Every structure is written in structure tokens, then in C-alpha cells.
Amino acid sequence: MGRAIVECVPNISEGRDLEKINRIVDSARIPGVKILGIEPDSDYNRTVITFAGNPDEVEKAAILLIQSAISEIDMRNHSGEHPRMGCVDVCPFVPISGVSMDECVRIAQRVAKEIGGLDVPVFMYGGAASDESRKSLSVLRKGEYEDLVHRFNGNSTIHGESTLLPDFGSKVWDDNSQKSGAITIGARDILIAYNVNVDEKSAVISKQIGSIVRSSGRLMKSSNKSNKFRTQGLLKHVQGMGVPLESHGISQVSMNLQHYHQTNLHHAYDVIASLATDMGGVAIGSEIVGLVPLDSMLEAGKWYADSEDLSDEELVNLAIEKLGLSSIHHFNPHERIIEWCLEGDDE
């Protein structure tokens, strides 16, 4: 694709009220932008929205969507299984074609300044972070929405000075900040949000596996808690945690595959399936949240293939089958693979 394409993947803190979700998404439906995915999750109480298009129009659409979310969502009434800090918990810009990471950083900075002008707290993360200590979303989000009051009042025991206050917008815990929570905007490479299902109602096994596979590993403390060290996780460039999925009577190892060329879908699935079996459980498929690059699916298909003569379509279908990607919701590759979604699109 020769034209410039930027992807934006805002995650909003609403996964149950479909009318509200649709109003927020509709605000981003402007010429030059294609809505690629809307994935609400009632357990997480979160919706992952994916859209792409011309950089200038994607920037406008992101501002309109965030403004709508600020109007529609009240974080004082929010609860869900997924960590979150604000009504738009995260809004990354991702270079897809003909666009550099530096350009996405500049888009993120302009959007953050615009939203900060609404007197709501805005953090920058990833490639747009103001310094190295603020790059990680999980670090910025530690303590979640509930700790923001302590951070704003200067008495949080969770964060150091470098991650305490927002980069733009309000730094006062007033009605505006309490309603919106903190919005996090950034730029990053393609990330795959990937969940492996485990056949257990509680998340006991999933939580154990999450702490074993995630790159940050486990924090180990001495009996008197005066000394500590961190183990190394099994998988590289992976964030992970175990959560219950009450609506389906199962649990999940919920992950972000941050560099899928090093740790891809099949790596994560097979390791987790093996660990689950060792712990007396069983992996029962998986799901991709949002969109996935074609080469990620092809590599997974090749891993499971018995023949080297399969077409791209056959490899993708094999990956869908072996990873159990339709175990919760039907996985349509022509709606979920980035390149196939954008084929023939001239918006």
C-alpha cells in the first residue's frame, strides 16, 4: 500500500451499554477514516475500537472520539476486570504504511494537547512519553483510577515523582478529573492483544501462568520483606495477567504481545497450554482483541502446518483452527486481519 495509513486503537471504559458505545464510535465516522473493529467486553467493561486512514483525518477522528467519551462516561461509576485509569484508558497511534513512528508521536502530542485543553488529565506513553520512566502503560496505570486521588494529592505510596502527575491538562482532583479519570495517549508499533482461555471458573491457574510467562516475571520477597528480587518471565516482550471471564465460566491469560516477531501467537498459546496441563487445567482456545497483522497469522499457520504448499488463506484458516480463535466469538479473517480489512479501501 503506497498511501499513508495510521491506525488508532482507543480503549474506552465502557463495555456494557451498547447505545453509549455506538454514540462514541459514531463520533469518529468521518471521511478518510475507516472503522475496522468495535469489540465490547462486558466482563472487562471495556471496548477496543480500531480505525485507520489518512493521518490528518485519523487525528481528527481521535479527538472527536475522546471528546465524546469524556461526555458519555463517568469513571466514578465504573468497575470491571481490566485495569483502567480513565474513560479513554489508552489511545495509541500506530504507523501502518507510509508513515514513520516520529509522525505518530507528533500526532499523539497534538491530540494530547487538544484534550488537555478540556481540563482533563492526560498522560503520554510509549514512543510519545516525555521520558524513559513514563514509557510503560502498566507503570503509568499502576494503582488504577482509585489511586489517582492520592497521586494528585501527593500522597500515593505506589508511584515515584516521575510518574505521579499528568503531562497535560488538569493536575487537580476536581469534578472534571474525577468524571473523566486520566486519559493516556501515545504512539507504538503494532501490538497484538491476545487472550488464552483456560477451563476454570476461578482464575487460579490463569493468574499463576500470567506471572510465569510475562516478561517482568514474579517479584519474590524474603520472609521479613526486607529483601526482594524479580524472576525472569518465560516469554519475551509480553505483558500478562490472569483474569476470570465470568460470563463464559472460564478464565483467561490476558496478554499484550509487544513484539510479535519475537513472541507470536503460537509461541504464547503453546507455552500456556503446556503450563495449564501441568497445573491440572486445559487451554480451550484463545481470542485476539482488535486486529492482527497478516504475517503474524501466516507464521502461526506455518508452525502448525504439515505441508509447505499451503496458500495464505489455508495457513490463516489453520492458525484459526489450531489457536481456537473462534472459541468465544467467530473470527472472520477478512474483518480481523489488518491488510485484508484495508484491501481495496479507497476512503
Pair (305, 269) in one structural domain: yes
Q: Any idea what the CATH number is for the domain that residue 164 is in? A: 3.30.990.10
Domain that holds residue 312: 192-342
Looking at the chain, the whole-number percentage of residues with pLDDT higher than 90 is 77
User: If you average pLDDT over residues 95-99, what whole number do you get?
Assistant: 88
pTM of the predicted model, to two decimals? Answer: 0.76
Domain boundary among the residues 187, 219, 250 is at: 187
Of residues 78, 82, 237, 259, which has the active-site annotation?
Answer: 82
Pair (203, 176) in one structural domain: no
Lowest mean pLDDT: which of 47-51, 128-132, 176-180, 252-256? 128-132
SS3 labels along the chain:
CCCCEEEECCEECCCCCHHHHHHHHHCCCCCCEEEEEEEEECCCCEEEEEEEECHHHHHHHHHHHHHHHHHHCCHHHCCCCCCCCECEEEEEEEEEECCCHHHHHHHHHHHHHHHHCCCCCEEEEECCCCCHHHCCHHHHCCCHHHHHHHHHCCCCCCCCHHHCCCCECCCCCCHHHHHHECEEEEECCCCEEEEEEECCCCCHHHHHHHHHHCCCCCEEECCCCCCEEECCCCCCCEEEEEEEEHHHCEEEEEEEECCCCCCCHHHHHHHHHHHHHHCCCCEEEEEEECCECHHHHHHHHHHHCCCCCCCHHHHHHHHHHHHCCCCCCCCCHHHHEHHHHHCCCCC
Per-residue model confidence as pLDDT tens digits over 50-72: 999 999 999 999 999 999 999 99
Q: Is residue 229 part of a domain?
A: yes
User: Which of the two residues, 275 and 228, has the higher pLDDT score?
Assistant: 275
Pair (59, 208) in one structural domain: no
Pair (82, 214) in one structural domain: no
Per-residue model confidence as pLDDT tens digits over 219-241: 888 888 788 898 999 999 999 99
Domain boundary among the residues 168, 187, 206 is at: 187
On the question of pLDDT at 185 being above 60, the answer is yes
Pair (9, 113) in one structural domain: yes
**pLDDT (0 to 100) of residue 180:** 97
Highest mean pLDDT of the ranges 20-29, 40-49, 92-101: 20-29
User: If you average pLDDT over residues 297-311, what whole number do you get?
Assistant: 96
On the question of pLDDT at 346 being above 80, the answer is no
Pair (44, 164) in one structural domain: yes
Q: Is residue 330 part of a domain?
A: yes
**pLDDT (0 to 100) of residue 290:** 84
Pair (156, 244) in one structural domain: no
**pLDDT (0 to 100) of residue 344:** 57
Number of domains in the chain: 2
Pair (180, 209) in one structural domain: no
Active site residue 82: yes
**pLDDT (0 to 100) of residue 163:** 64
Per-residue model confidence as pLDDT tens digits over 140-167: 999 999 999 999 988 887 766 656 799 9
**pLDDT (0 to 100) of residue 1:** 43
**pLDDT (0 to 100) of residue 154:** 84
Domain boundary among the residues 172, 187, 202 is at: 187
User: If you average pLDDT over residues 321-331, what whole number do you get?
Assistant: 96
**pLDDT (0 to 100) of residue 162:** 57
Pair (178, 207) in one structural domain: no
Q: Any idea what the CATH number is for the domain that residue 239 is in? A: 3.30.70.670
**pLDDT (0 to 100) of residue 347:** 41
Pair (183, 281) in one structural domain: no
**pLDDT (0 to 100) of residue 325:** 98
**pLDDT (0 to 100) of residue 247:** 87
On the question of pLDDT at 120 being above 90, the answer is yes
On the question of pLDDT at 345 being above 60, the answer is no
Q: Is residue 347 part of a domain?
A: no
Q: Is residue 261 part of a domain?
A: yes
